[in-house]
Every structure is written in C-alpha cells, then in structure tokens.
C-alpha cells in the first residue's frame, strides 16, 4: 500500500490487489471494513488509477461524519488489510468508440472517475474531443490539477474562495456557465457528471433543460451512506 | 441519501451473472424504460432500493443477511439484459 495526499482531507490509496482483473475507466470498487466486534461497513469508491496496471487506486475524501472515510484518510497504513469487490458497474463507463465528443463535469472529489476516463483516453491515443468542467470550493481543494492541465484544459470554477488574479469562474455551476463550457446539445456529446448528490442533480436538470438527451447524460452521485 | 443505480452494481452482482446496471428495466408503474444504472438508488434503506428515474416508483428491492439474499422485482414489468 502506498498513498499520497491530494488536498486537505483527500488521499489517494494505491493498493496492490493480487488477482485484480483490470478495469475500465469510470468503474468503482466496493470496499468492506470489518470491525473487531464484527460490524461491517461497505462503501463504493471510484477507481481513480489507470486501468490494467495491476494496482488499484482509490481517491477518498474525508466526510467528517463518515464511518469509513476518516479511517481511510487518516489512519489506514501499509500492511492494513481491506476487502475489495470489483471492478463493478459498467454504466458510468466511457466507450472510446462513442461518436460524440466527451464532456466531463465534476464537483469536488467527483473528479476522480473523470480523471480516470481522461487517463484512459490519453493511454489509448484517442482523438475524441474532450472537455472538463471542474467545480471546487477553493484552489486548495482542486485535486490532480497539474495532471488535468496536461490532459485537457479544464474549465475551473471556485465557488467559495478564489486566489488573487483568478481567471476561472467564481460561482456555483448554473445554466449560463454550462452553456459556455459544455459542448452544445446539437453536437450530441456523451456527458459524465460526478459529484455530491445536489451538485449532480442540479447539473443534470440544467443539461436536460439545455436540450441534452437524458440517455446521453450519465450521472454518479456520491455522499455519505450507511446512516 | 439518493445515489444512482450504478452504486448498486456490486450488490446486484451477487445475484445476476451479468452487469445488471446495464440492463434495461421497464417500470411497471409508468412504463418508462431505462438502464438500472440510471435509476435512483437508496443504498441504506436498509437494503438497496432502486426507484424509477421518471416516476420514482420502486423498481427493485434487495436485502441480504449472512446466508440469504432477497430480491423483490414486482416494480419491473420487464428486464432486458444484453449478452456480451
């Protein structure tokens, strides 16, 4: 197990998983923890790392009232054991042969599976046009920033706090912001939206309102579960 | 907390040999046809509840304990699974 800090409260765990069959960008893994008294908690995390390289990378954001994420972000150490089930889920997966341009919209650590898709696209040498819109509270909360700047020139919006000289957007995603940054519906993009439930639902509704077909808008909400 | 059907992929994998989140379900209540991955998912109901993204009727309920899995599908008029 190796790990790196991505931002305050966000950590990527690099796990070696014997027999891991490889995965597609956008899939997730179910992780099960068992406490000494037998209590079990299962959570889903997006597979952040590149597919098919033998290891599994999970980017975990600490939810202060979470049962599992504080342990994974603050306490998990090399040698500790986890149970993983996966890869699972083929719905939030980009098909490189999709004819439309690729549109990725992430809120907070919801950028994790979107980064996996961009890495996959780069690894395949795909010429599919791609855009990323990434919303976070502040510059310090942006994860994978250097890499994303290389993979695609993202549109950033910082909703709470902006550094001096900030040239990106400075507000929550709204209709006008989507109209400016998302491929128009007439180009039939395949859109992947991942983030907290409220963010995803707002964005998905606005996209439908802007004329995007529901079948072309794939969503992955995340949030605290098990409560 | 409402999530997507996609979040139930692991739980459904214990019952279905193919990825059920890619299956097209027809809602018994409103007739909408959509992939289960796009349904609304409640993962902590307890058990898993998937609801139609159009009319919010229950499509599927899945519960398990140590030695049994219980699946209720009366909200699905049909389930179409594509073979690989």
Optimal mutation site among A40, A42, A63, A91, interface B, most CBs of chain B within 10 A: A91
Q: What's the pLDDT band for A2 if we cut at 50, 70, 90?
A: confident
Peptide bond into A183 cis (omega under 30): no
Query: Does residue A95 sit within a domain?
Result: no
Q: Could you give the number of structural domains in chain A? A: 2
How many whole angstroms separate alpha carbon A201 and alpha carbon A220? 10
ipTM of the complex: 0.88
Q: Are A90 and B2 in contact (CB < 8 Å)?
A: no
Q: pTM for the complete prediction?
A: 0.92
Task: Please tell me which of the candidates B7, B44, B53 has its beta carbon nearest to residue A44.
Answer: B7
Q: Name every residue whose Cβ is closer than 8 Å to that of residue B23 and which is 6 or more positions away in sequence.
A: B16, B35, B36, B79, B80, B81, B82
Which residues of chain B make contact with A112, given a CB cutoff of 8 A? none
**Within a domain: A93:** no
Question: Same domain for A106 and A218?
Answer: yes
Q: What is the mean pLDDT of residues A135-142?
A: 95
For residue A27, the chain B residue with the least C-alpha distance is B6
Which among B2, B10, B22 has CB closest to A197? B2
CB-defined contacts A:B, below 8 A = 72
Co-location of A156 and A204 in the same domain: yes
- pLDDT range class, residue A170, cuts 50, 70, 90: very high
Q: Does the pLDDT of residue A166 top 80, yes or no? A: yes
Does residue A94 sit within a domain?
no
Same domain, A157 and A206: yes
Same domain, A114 and A214: yes
- Interchain contact, B37 vs A91, CB within 8 Å: yes
Q: Are residues A83 and A132 in the same domain?
A: no
Whether A74 and A182 map to the same domain: the answer is: no
Q: Does B23 lie at the interface with A, CB-CB under 8 angstroms? A: no
Q: Are residues A82 and A115 in the same domain?
A: no
In this complex, which of B21, B43, B53 lies closest to A89 when CB atoms are compared?
B21
Q: DSSP for A107-133, please give it.
A: EGGGHHHHHHHHHHHHHTT----EEEE
Instruction: Report the gap between the CA of B74 and the closest CA in chain A (Å).
Output: 23
Q: Which residues pair with A56 in a beta bridge?
A: A15
Residue A37 shares a structural domain with residue A140? no
**Residues of chain B contacting residue A197, judged by C-beta atoms under 8 Å apart:** 1-3
> Which of B10, B22, B43 has its CB closest to that of A91?
B22
Picking from B5, B8, B9 by the largest number of A CB atoms within 10 A of its own CB, the best residue to mutate is B9
What is the rounded (10 degree) CA torsion for A126, A127, A133, A134?
30
Neighbours of B27 (CB within 10 A): 23
d(CA A184, CA A173) in angstroms, rounded, equals: 16
Last residue of a domain, one of A54, A88, A122: A88
**A84 within domain boundaries:** yes
pLDDT tens-digit series, residues A50-90? 766 678 999 999 988 888 999 999 999 888 888 999 899 99
Asked if A125 and A216 sit in the same domain, the reply is: yes
State the residue range of the domain holding A76: 2-88
Residue B68: domain span: 2-80
User: B47 in contact with A at a CB cutoff of 8 Å?
Assistant: no
CATH number for the domain that contains residue A13: 2.40.30.10
The answer, for B66 touching chain A at a CB cutoff of 8 Å, is no
- CA torsion through residues A70, A72, A76, A81, sign: positive
Residues A106, A44: one domain?
A: no
Residue of B nearest to A217 (CA): B38
Yes or no, beta carbons of B3 and A86 under 8 Å apart: no
Residues A150 and A66 placed together within one structural domain of the fold = no
Is residue A138 domain-resident?
yes
Please give the average per-residue pLDDT across A30-41, as a whole number: 86
Question: Total domain count for chain B?
Answer: 1
The domain boundary, picked from A88, A113, A131, lies at A88
Are both A142 and A48 inside the same structural domain? no
Instruction: Output the pLDDT for position B66.
Output: 82
Chain centroid, CA A57 distance in Å = 12
Contact with chain A for residue B7, Cβ under 8 A: yes
Q: Which three-class secondary structure state does DSSP give residue A79? A: coil
Q: Is B75 on the interface with A (CB under 8 A)?
A: no
Chain A touched by B79 (CB under 8 Å):
no
Report the percentage of chain A scoring pLDDT > 90: 71
Instruction: Using the 3D structure, point to which of A44, A61, A88 is the last residue of a domain.
Output: A88
- Tell me the pLDDT of chain A averaged across its residues: 92
């Amino acid at each position: 197990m190796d790990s790196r800090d991505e931002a305050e409260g966000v950590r990527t765990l690099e796990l070696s998983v014997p027999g891991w069959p490889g995965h597609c960008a956008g899939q997730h893994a179910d992780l099960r923890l068992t406490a000494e008294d037998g209590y079990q908690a299962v959570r889903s995390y997006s597979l952040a790392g590149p597919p098919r390289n033998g290891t599994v990378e999970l980017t975990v954001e600490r939810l202060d009232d979470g049962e599992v994420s504080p342990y994974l972000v603050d306490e998990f150490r090399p040698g500790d054991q986890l149970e993983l089930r996966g890869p699972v889920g083929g719905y939030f997966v980009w098909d490189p042969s999709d004819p439309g341009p690729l549109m990725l919209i992430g809120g907070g650590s919801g950028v994790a599976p979107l980064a996996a898709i961009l890495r996959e696209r780069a690894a395949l040498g795909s010429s599919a046009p791609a855009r990323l819109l990434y919303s976070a509270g502040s510059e310090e909360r942006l994860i994978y920033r250097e890499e994303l700047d290389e993979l695609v020139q993202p549109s950033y919006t910082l909703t709470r706090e902006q550094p001096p000289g900030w040239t990106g957007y400075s507000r929550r995603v709204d209709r006008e912001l989507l109209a400016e940054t998302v491929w128009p519906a007439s180009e039939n993009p395949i859109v992947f939206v991942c983030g907290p439930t409220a963010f995803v639902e707002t964005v998905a509704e606005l996209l439908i309102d802007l004329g995007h077909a529901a079948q072309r808008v794939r969503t992955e909400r995340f949030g605290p579960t098990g409560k | 907390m409402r999530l997507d059907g996609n979040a139930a992929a692991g739980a459904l994998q214990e019952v279905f040999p193919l990825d059920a989140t890619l299956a097209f379900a027809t809602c018994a209540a409103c007739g909408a046809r959509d992939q289960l991955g796009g349904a609304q998912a409640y993962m902590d109901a307890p058990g898993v509840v998937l609801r139609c993204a159009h009319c919010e009727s229950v499509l599927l309920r899945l519960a398990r304990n140590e030695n049994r899995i219980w699946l209720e599908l009366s909200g699905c008029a049909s389930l179409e699974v594509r073979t690989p």
